[in-house]
Homo-oligomer: A and B are copies of this chain.
Amino acid sequence: MNQKKISSAVIHRLPKYYRHLGELVDSGIQRISSRDLSIRMRITASQIRHDLNQFGGFGQQGYGYNVGSLYKEIEKILGLGEKHNMVVIGAGNLGKALAHYQDFKARGFNIEGIFDNNEKIIGEKVSGLTVKSIDELPEFVREHHIEIGTIAIPKTEAKKMAKVLVDNGVRQIWNFAHTDLHMGDGVVVENVNLTESLMRLSFMAALDKKQ
């Protein structure tokens, strides 16, 4: 498979396949046609075939997809078979919310540490972790083999903290600050911009009204 060719739209849909297949596994369903999967996921059957063909194609004519094995395959493609160590920078409400997410751990994403620069917050307990000072971050990241750094602080400090993470070996940045981070080659960044998400909602509603 040519990994270079995978579009961002497919990257966007893969976790959705994984979620829907996981729900099917949980309900004891063993196989599904691309048509039924299409109705469930609200995308066309030809889109599904096209997406999954990029990873080798898992369907069989007249049989459909084997739910369990497709689920396992996508899990592997998404890199979810292994454990991933994370830290959260910022123990404000958002950082706390992220640290409490049970779902991440279930997927192999372990939050190993949470950091803040506010003396009033350092030492607090969050979901079984003690909030540490940002001064301890570089050593912690190296010692705990942290793969993913979550940025849950205002944009003024975001770039600086991302650099500290990258300088200490982190290659994945999950950024919630209201600025796009670009960390150069070898570092992947997923920017989650909540204000922009809200604006998209507002824009779609404005379009919808005019139609």
* A93 lies within 8 A of B104 (CB): no
* B100 lies within 8 A of A198 (CB): no
A201 to B188, CA, bound (A): 7
Write the chain B residue with the least CB distance to A94: B97
Write the chain B residue with the least CB distance to A193: B15
Cβ contacts under 8 Å, A202 to chain B: 78-80, 84, 109, 148, 172
Given contacts A97-B97, A203-B14, contact A174 B190 (CB under 8 A): no
Cβ contacts under 8 Å, A172 to chain B: 201-202, 204-205
1/0 per residue A106-138: CB within 8 Å of B?
A: 010100000000000000000000000000000
Q: Is the interface of A mostly helix, strand, loop or mixed?
A: helix
The stretch of A4-12, A25-33, A60-68, A161-169 that contacts the partner chain: A4-12
Cβ contacts under 8 Å, A201 to chain B: 148, 172, 174, 188-190
Could you tell me how many residues of chain A have their Cβ less than 8 Å away from some Cβ of chain B? 59
Which residues of A14-63 have CB atoms within 8 Å of chain B's CB atoms?
Answer: 14-16, 18-19, 42
A12 to B199, CA, bound (A): 9
Cβ contacts under 8 Å, A77 to chain B: 203, 206
* A196 lies within 8 A of B16 (CB): yes
A205 to B174, CA, bound (A): 11
* B194 lies within 8 A of A98 (CB): yes
Beyond the given A80-B199, A188-B201, could you list 10 further A-B residue pairs with CB under 8 A, ordered by the A residue number? A6-B207, A14-B200, A15-B203, A19-B195, A78-B203, A96-B97, A98-B194, A103-B178, A104-B198, A148-B201
Report 5 cross-chain contacts, Cβ distance below 8 Å, ordered by A residue.
A93-B97, A172-B204, A172-B205, A188-B204, A190-B201
